[in-house]
Amino acid sequence: MPAVFEQQEYKKRVQATKQAMQKQGIDLLVISQPANMNYLIGYDGWSFYVHQVVLVSLDQDEPMWLGRGMDANGARLTTNLSEDNIREYADDYVQSLVKHPMHFVADVIKEKGWGSKKIGVEMDQFYFTHRNYVELEKSLPQATFKDANALVNWVRVVKSEAEITFLKRAGKIAERVMQTAVDTIDVGVRECDAAAAIAYAQYAGTDEFAGDYPSIVPLMMAGEAASTPHLTWTEKKYQKDEAVLLELAGVYRHYHSPIARTIFLGKNPPALMQETADVVMDGLAKTLDFVKPGVTAEQVEETWRKAIAHSKVVKESRLGYSIGVNYPPDWGEQTISLRPGDKTVIQEDMALHLIPGIWYKDVGFEVDATIRVTATGNESLFDYPIQLFLK
């Protein structure tokens, strides 16, 4: 099971990362985020619950993978790294009170002669802990540490042609996933049974492409839970005349195409829900008409606010964000946010998720658009109706 992209693509990614390192005055980059590891070398394993890193040095052409011994064969199977650049630590480093995997990482850094370099670390990533930093700093007293939290994330933000292909495959899976949800959710059905059908669709994918596990589990808010995002399922049965908000995703090789829709289990949704749906869907359409290379992230959000200004709808949170390859617990890239103050210039082949979710005390509504920016505008990564579904 070799790395999923051509070796030349990985080399381009590493070179772009080194250019970004040079701009920030970083000699050695210690990468802990699984998506960044996957992006640069192809490594793919459910091993991020223990400490593992990729080292990128300006002094060496090829990156290095450092991780738990039992996962080293995973690095050999999913990357094209040479044997000397796959380093494994003994199992007694795992959850030890007297030694730490960062001691092993520091030993490799010193072996390579990088112990007095300017070292960038991902200070605000989920898998880089406070103790990681403390142990590295203590073990490398001659080094200078710098925050390189989103350095690789920003390298990832413009997608290659091969990545766009993966995102479109994820979009095809997303269509099937949402259709499964619409077909399954109904009065009397248990929420957990609907979740099981959705998860099956996510993993099974299409007849042509296998699905993958999403970075976020199916978010399925029903009844009073529809007043908030980010809740999951229970054993409760769906009730007549309640709303169900769905935030799901199709995933291919860890590339995500999120998809969000709202179902109302009845023919006559509350007036506030219908009015909100009409405003949001119209505002989203007008915003999509605006998105193209050259505009800024904050201008996209401003266009959205102007499009709904005539209504009572207010969205205080950001309108959306960039997406691509990712691992739990989030499918966002932690770079672009469509909100005031983000002056990032939108470029061709960026991938964006616009999700104008609205949550009131008694009702909510979610719909979205997952797009690839083209030379003259944008295109959806999936073909699925933008509507309030009534059942």
Domain count, the chain: 2
pLDDT for position 363: 84
> Is 1 inside any structural domain?
no
CATH number at residue 75: 3.40.350.10
Q: Is residue 347 part of a domain?
A: yes
**Same-domain check for residues 377 and 291:** yes
Same domain, 97 and 74: yes
32 and 144 both lie in a single domain: yes
Query: CATH no. for residue 295?
Result: 3.90.230.10
Domain boundary, last residue among 126, 155, 184: 155
For residue 2, being part of any structural domain is answered with no
Q: Are residues 332 and 205 in the same domain?
A: yes
277 and 167 together in one domain? yes
Q: Is the same domain home to 95 and 227?
A: no
> 108 and 182: one domain?
no
Which pLDDT tens digits describe the chain residue by residue (391 residues)?
Answer: 567 999 999 999 999 999 999 999 999 999 999 999 999 999 999 999 999 999 999 999 999 999 999 999 999 999 999 999 999 999 999 999 999 999 999 999 999 999 999 999 999 999 999 999 999 999 999 999 999 999 999 999 999 999 999 999 999 999 999 999 999 999 999 999 999 999 999 999 999 999 999 999 999 999 999 999 999 999 999 999 999 999 999 999 999 999 999 999 999 999 999 999 999 999 999 999 999 999 999 999 999 999 999 999 999 899 999 999 999 999 999 999 999 999 999 999 999 999 999 999 888 999 999 999 999 999 999 999 999 999 9
Q: Which of the listed residues 155, 190, 222 is the one where a domain comes to its end?
A: 155
In a domain, 171, yes or no: yes
Of 155, 187, 210, which one is at a domain's C-terminal end?
Answer: 155
Q: Please indicate, yes or no, whether residues 303 and 256 belong to a single structural domain of this protein.
A: yes
Tell whether 231 and 138 lie within a shared domain: no
State whether 136 and 209 are in the same domain. no
Question: Do residue 318 and residue 207 come from a single domain?
Answer: yes
Q: Is 129 within the bounds of a domain?
A: yes
Return the pLDDT at 359.
Answer: 93
Give a yes or no: residue 83 inside a domain: yes
Which domain, by its residues, includes 224? 161-390
* Shared-domain flag, residues 175 and 297: yes
Report pLDDT for 2.
62
Q: Which three-class secondary structure string do you get for the chain?
A: CCCCCCHHHHHHHHHHHHHHHHHCCCCEEEECCHHHHHHHHCCCCCCCCCCCEEEEECCCCCCEEEEEHHHHHHHHHHCCCCHHHEEEECHHHCCCCCCCHHHHHHHHHHHCCCCCCEEEECCCCCCCCHHHHHHHHHHCCCCEEEECCCHHHHHCCECCHHHHHHHHHHHHHHHHHHHHHHHHCCCCCEHHHHHHHHHHHHHHCCCCCCCCCCCCCCEEEEHHHHHCCCCCCCCCECCCCCEEEEEEEEEECCEEEEEEEEEECCCCCCHHHHHHHHHHHHHHHHHHHHCCCCCEHHHHHHHHHHHHCCCCCCCCCCCEEEECECCCCCCEEEEEECCCCCCCECCCCEEEEECCCEECCCCEECCCEEEEECCCCEEECCCCCCCEEEC
